[in-house]
Structure 1
Amino acid sequence: MSEITPELVRHLGVLARIQLTDDEVQTLTGQLDVIVDNIAKVSQVATPDVPATSHPVPLENVFRPDEVADTLTRDQVLQNAPDSADGRFRVTAILGEEQ
């Protein structure tokens, strides 16, 4: 059994600046207790001879190879743009910035 008490949960709530009701304190006490117990179980089997892993399944990049291909011209790209200027897309200013 872990040492998670309602008082500890209330204290953590104060540190996190979270107002907790009595019902929330009771619920979180039980949930945190289970979490801490499970971490303790994992710590028991995580011995130095067991390598640490960040993911249970080996990961591999699935990028396609770069291949040179035909590209659109600047005029083709801009032909359906609502507004363009000087060979670029023209958009309205954002975040109050003037252009």
Structure 2
Amino acid sequence: MVNPKLKDELNDQLCEAMLSLRTVDECYQFFEDLCTVSELKAMSQRLEVARMLRAGHTYDDIVARTGASTATISRVKRCLNYGADGYHIVLDRLAPDEGAAKDKDKD
């Protein structure tokens, strides 16, 4: 379910633009134009934090590997537990075996 507070014509356009990209190089080109280097690095960091949390890493491990603050790690963890499942969708698709193992653990 999409958050109705976020759903609007401009965000739809952004999502459609992202879906139109076909290669990793095209993604780099688009994100380089769209985001600052800091914004892109922050998004990449949050995705890695989510991956590591799902894999069972401790906060100390995550801080050491990513440099993320404990506040960022906590925010990502809250999204994993109570968010819109966007991280789960992406991480399951990037590493389907890892996602399947996580789903089995839930049973």
The structure with more radius of gyration = 1
Which protein is richer in helix relative to its size?
2
TM-score range, shorter chain: under 0.3
Which protein is richer in strand relative to its size?
1
